[in-house]
Amino acid sequence: MKQLSVFLENREGRLEDVLNLLKEENINIISLSLADTSDYGMLRLLVSDPEKGKKALRENGFSATISDIVAVTLPHKVGGLQQVLHTLYHAGINVEYMYALCTTTDEAAIAIKPSDLEKAQKVLEDAGAHFFSEKDMFL
């Protein structure tokens, strides 16, 4: 999956500016994560059109990039997340960050930024993981 990331100054109104711009461009936000420090924030989003979002944001002075992530579904049971992370850990793959996804299914889902995307996809597939895809976002 493609993730849109936006570097934000940590000041009043910057998040509102990004959200208004995406709305004006008719880009739907599926899920997001916002992490901040005292000086800046990193907004990570799964959106309906990441390339269009990146272009619009850059044209309006925002630092925006697109990166690949892995998204997997999790059963709603004790240990579901731990099982996925255990698989990655034993394959020597570091999780740089992750966040929960909004879903329209009965399962939970998470977005993971692994240190090695291709290897993570392979070991998770071999372990029987179910991937959450872009088409799942728009059911």
* CATH 3.40.309.10 matches 70-138: no
- Could you tell me the two tokens for 63? 């630092």
3 pLDDT above the threshold of 80:
yes
pTM for this entry: 0.83
Q: 12, 19, 82: which is closest to 53 by C-alpha?
A: 19
Q: Same topology for domains 2-67 and 70-138, yes or no? A: yes
Calpha distance 131→121 (Å, rounded): 9
| Distance set, CA 128 to CA 16, 88, 118 (Å) | 40, 13, 16
The CATH superfamily assigned to 2-67 is: VC0802-like (3.30.2130.10)
| Distance set, CA 43 to CA 4, 6, 64, 118, 132 (Å) | 8, 5, 9, 24, 20
* pLDDT (tens digit per residue) in 55-86: 999 999 999 999 999 999 888 789 989 999 99
pLDDT band at 136 (very low <50, low <70, confident <90, very high): low
Stronger pLDDT, 97 or 11, i.e. the higher one: 97
**Structural domain boundaries in the chain:** 2-67, 70-138
- Predicted pLDDT at 138: 57
Stronger pLDDT, 2 or 103, i.e. the higher one: 2
